[in-house]
Amino acid sequence: MAKKKIERGTPAFMQGNEACVDAAIVAGCRFFAGYPITPSTEIAEGCSEKLPLIGGAFIQMEDEIGSIAAIIGGSLAGAKSMTATSGPGFSLMSENLGFAYMTEVPIVIVNVMRGGPSTGLPTRLSQSDVMQARFGTHGDYTAIVITPSSVQEIYDLTIHAFNCAERFHTPVILLLDEMLAHMREKVFISAIEDIEIMPRSYPKVPPEFFNPYEITPNMVSDSVPFGEGYRFNVTGLIHDEEGFPTSKPDEVVAKLHKLRKKIHLGRKEIMRWDEEYMDDAKYAIVSFGTAARAASSAVQKARSKGIKVGLIKLKTLWPFPGKRINQIADQVRGILVAELNMGQMIREVDRYVMGKCRVQGALRYDGNPLEPEEVFEKLLVLRATKRGK
Partner 1 sequence: MELEAICSEHNYLRIKKKFPTVWCSGCGIGSIMGAIIRSVHELKINKNNVALVSGIGCSSRMPIYMDFNTLHTTHGRALPFATGIKMVRPDMKVIVVSGDGDGLAIGGNHFIHACRRNIDITLVIINNYIYGMTGGQVSPTTPLGSYAHTAPYGCIDPPFDAVKVASGAGASYVARASNYHIVQAAKYIKKAIGHKGFSMVEVMSNCPTLFGRLNGMRDPVDQLKWMKANAVTIKNWEKLGEEERVGKFPIGEFVTNMSRPEYTQVYEEMSRKAREEAQNGQS
Where does this chain bind partner 1 (CB under 8 A)?
30-31, 33, 52-53, 55, 57, 59, 61-63, 65-67, 69-79, 81, 95-96, 99, 225-237, 242, 244-245
CB 24 to partner 1: min, Å? 15
Which amino acid does the sequence have at 114?
A: R
Residue 165 near residue 172 (C-beta atoms within 8 A): yes
CB of 248 to partner 1, least distance (A): 14
Question: What is the closest distance, in whole angstroms, from the C-beta atom of residue 247 to partner 1 in the complex?
Answer: 12
By the 8 A CB rule, do 81 and 71 touch?
Answer: yes
Q: Please confirm whether the linkage preceding 117 is cis (ω < 30° from 0).
A: yes
Residue closer to partner 1 by CB (options 63, 373) is 63
Provide, rounded to whole angstroms, the least separation between the CB of residue 28 and partner 1. Answer: 13
Nearer to partner 1, 137 or 149 (CB): 137
Q: How far is the CB of 69 from partner 1 (least distance, A)?
A: 4
Cβ closer to partner 1: 229 or 355? Answer: 229
Question: Cα–Cα distance between 283 and 290 in angstroms, integer?
Answer: 21
Cα separation values, 23 from 78, 82, 152, 319, Å: 19, 12, 10, 22
Contact 334, 310 (CB under 8 A): no
Q: Which amino acid is at 160?
A: H
Contact residues for 296 (Cβ-Cβ < 8 A; gap 6+) = 276, 287, 311, 313
The amino acid occupying position 282 is: K
